[in-house]
Amino acid sequence: MNYKETAPKIIELVGGAENIETHTHCMTRLRLVLRDQSKVQEEALKAVDGVQGVVSKAGQYQIIIGPAVEQLYNEMAPLLSSSGAAAPVNENLDKKENVINKAFAFISGCITPTLPVLIGSGLISAILALLSNFNVLTTDSPTYVLLNALANAAYTYLPVMVAFAGARRLKTNEYVAAFIMLALCSGTITGVEGLSIFGISLTTVTYTSNIVPALMMVPVMSLLDKVVVKYSPNAIKSIIRPFILAMVMFPLTLIVLGPIGTLVGTALANFCVWVTSFGGLSMAILSALHPLLVMVGMHTIITPLIVNEITTVGSSLLFSKALAANLAIAGSALAVGVKAKKAENKQTGISTGITAMLSVTEPALYGCLIRLKKPLISTIIASAITGIFIGIFDIRAYATASCSFLTLPIFMGGEMSNFYLACAAAVIAVILGFVITWIIGFDED
């Protein structure tokens, strides 16, 4: 892909920079919030070199690119710097956009930018666990201590990154949002008992690794910011604005939003435990649904639950559904590559199958399985069977990453048997995906 040529072409086909309200990306997709989706030239967009498909869900227009999405986004971002409030919203659109879609889009937009950090942190932790288990490094060695501090920082200060991303999405000052969360995460406040402010006793709240207070604080700060900007004199606005935001939101979070956020976060963690409490049955259903969630771009909606589960419980069974599904996708794509008679399908199946085993699954899902239909059904069956295995043996992830053979170390953190079982589940998923696709077959036409 020629990123410099493709970037302006995509912008033009989605209605121009003035039609783009907000823009970001995840590991494989451009995620745009558009003012008017009727302006999108969808068929022409799908025909652009490098575009593997488009999905419109949860208030976002998602353009599937694959692992090269960051390079493409870096070319697009400067061209979109002026997009935003200047362009009027189409009056014919429904002004009362679905509140649930808005909430999902906001939460996803806050979490998605942090995923590269969480993935890096998870792999560092996994490698350290591997080196420690094989006595290459001791846990008290200086190298281990320093690298472990680097890995732990991602989850410790995750609320700061979430607040920053959320403020950027809502177009309020992201640095003030981060400033407030940094103060809340300090050792003076987080988890400390007996605190009070303005004579009001505070509930003890642990803000480090707790993303829910940040998700609640930023929207309130955004509303306050609009009032401050509207009524502050221009001469002192740059001084008074951050002062008012900090002095209002800091105590408001301490007194109200922090305690409520902790209750919500605990409830969400308990919900994850309940959802996965039915063992093999739970994981069979969740694993079978995962390819469909990826297909419609809704898989990131569950990411906040997974992140909250890891930060609260220390590991995630819910995330392990991706292990079953991703490797089943890889196996099904490889079966297409081996069994197909058409050269195009052979090449697509093998190349995207290898990519799914080692990196991301969207190329296999969109370029192979959805197009041929029956391999997608085979993938769902293989995912469900592997999910039963995962549920029975309670295979847990200790960090987040796109599940593949290269990221299997994220299943290290507890007993080594968990890691060995995760490796076995990955192999089972690939074999089942391959065999079931081979047996069911597919129509190349």
Taking only the tens place, the pLDDT of each residue in 374-394 is 999 999 999 999 999 999 999
Report the percent of the chain where pLDDT is more than 70.
Answer: 94
Of 78-82, 266-270, 340-344, 430-434, which gets the smallest average pLDDT?
78-82
Report the percent of the chain where pLDDT is more than 90.
Answer: 49
Q: H or E element: which one contains 185? A: none
CATH number for the domain formed by residue range(s) 3-81: 3.30.1360.60
Confidence check: pLDDT of 243 > 70: yes
What digits encode the pLDDT tens for the residues 78-114? 888 644 433 333 434 444 456 767 777 788 778 878 8
The SS3 assignment for 158 reads helix
**The pLDDT value given to residue 297:** 67
pLDDT confidence of 181, banded at 50, 70, 90? very high
User: In Å, what is the CA distance from 294 to each residue of 29, 109, 119, 336?
Assistant: 11, 16, 18, 20
| Residue bearing the bigger pLDDT, 224 or 111 | 224
**Structure-token match 């200790």, residue found:** 398
Confidence check: pLDDT of 307 > 90: no
**The pLDDT value given to residue 97:** 52
Tokens of 418: 């968990």
**The pLDDT value given to residue 92:** 40
pLDDT confidence of 399, banded at 50, 70, 90? confident
Q: Mean pLDDT across the stretch 8-29? A: 88
pLDDT confidence of 422, banded at 50, 70, 90? very high
Q: What is the DSSP string of 350-371?
A: HHHHHHHHHS-SHHHIIIIIHH
Q: Mean pLDDT across the stretch 329-344? A: 94
β partners of residue 55: 62
**The pLDDT value given to residue 316:** 92
Confidence check: pLDDT of 371 > 90: no
**Structure-token match 């014919």, residue found:** 92
**Structure-token match 């299997």, residue found:** 408
Whether the predicted model's global pTM rises above the 0.75 cut = no
Confidence check: pLDDT of 335 > 70: yes
Q: Tell me what the pLDDT averaged over the chain comes to.
A: 88
Q: Mean pLDDT across the stretch 207-227? A: 93
* Distance between CA atoms of residues 331 and 431, nearest Å: 6
| Number of helices followed by number of strands (H, E) in the chain | 19, 6
CA-nearest of 278, 273, 224 to 246 is 224
Q: What is the DSSP string of 285-300?
A: HHHHHHHHHHHTT-GG
**Structure-token match 């507890």, residue found:** 414
* Distance between CA atoms of residues 34 and 42, nearest Å: 13
Of 77-81, 157-161, 167-171, 367-371, which gets the smallest average pLDDT?
77-81
* Distance between CA atoms of residues 331 and 188, nearest Å: 51
